[in-house]
Amino acid sequence: MRTVFITGVSRGLGAALFEQVIAGGNRVVGIGRTFTGAQDDLALQEPARVALLTSNLGDTSTLPTAAELRAAFAPEGEVVLIHNAGVVTPVGPVGSLPPEELAASITVNLTSAMLLSNAFVAAASGRPARILFVSSGAAGRPIAHWSAYSAAKRGGDWFAEVLAAEAERREPPMVVASVNPGVMDTDMQAALRDSEFPARDRYVGLHERGELPDPASVAERILREHLTNE
């Protein structure tokens, strides 16, 4: 049975990934500060298939260790880590960003992903493994007032590339990929529509025209393209 760790599963894309990974017959391990009532119930009712690790990705001291990750593995099969959790705030021009929010953004979006990857690679020694980084179009182009989010996602992409180069020498195989899910109808998009930045009208228009995909359809595409049963 494949074991799939997913960060940030309480809503949006993370919740959709959580549901679809379970439906695919895998073991899923959610990592985050909070979980839905349904997820809590599943963890109690089906501990062989569902586990929840409470961790605040904004506080690196709470991240699971390699030993804790290994203890959550199914006895056999591939192990997977999906870095889904992220925050878009603070949004604003450089020079106006609250220092504590800027630091928290980098911690959640980049530092915790790097540390968790480091622990996961250590835990997965001897097992086929896969790591997916949920990236963003903002990692590839400058968007005014998104400096924190863009920089963190760009850093995550580069970290993934280095990790992928290292993975080529690993036995058994480890696959590393950075995935751009595109825009979708999530709380993050709602937060952007409530913010002020030069390109805001584009995102408001996407919402008003009903052009934001549902997270479930995005999750299905990501899993189909990067987590097949083959």
User: What is each CA distance from 221 to 138, 141, 210, in whole angstroms?
Assistant: 20, 23, 19
- pLDDT of the residue at 53: 98
pLDDT tens-place string over residues 153-163 = 999 999 999 99
pLDDT tens-place string over residues 156-195 = 999 999 999 999 889 998 999 999 998 887 888 888 888 8
Whole-number Å distance between alpha carbons of 56 and 34: 9
Domain boundaries, the chain: 3-184+215-226
Contact 53, 72 (CB under 8 A): yes
CATH of 3-184+215-226, one of 1.10.10.60, 1.10.730.10, 3.40.50.720, 3.40.220.10: 3.40.50.720
- pLDDT of the residue at 186: 82
Read off the pLDDT band of 230 (50, 70, 90).
very low
Contact 104, 150 (CB under 8 A): no
pLDDT tens-place string over residues 207-227 = 889 888 899 999 999 999 998
Q: Is 157 exposed, middle or buried (0-12, 13-18, 19+ CB in 10 A)?
A: middle
In what order do the strands lie in the sheet containing 50-54?
50-54, 27-32, 3-7, 79-83, 129-134, 174-179
Contact 185, 210 (CB under 8 A): no
Could you tell me how far CA 96 lies from the centroid of its own chain?
Answer: 27
Contact 33, 11 (CB under 8 A): no
> What is the mean predicted confidence (pLDDT) over 140-147?
92
Contact 207, 32 (CB under 8 A): no
Residue 5 has pLDDT above 60, yes or no: yes
pLDDT tens-place string over residues 29-63 = 999 999 999 999 999 999 999 999 999 999 999 99
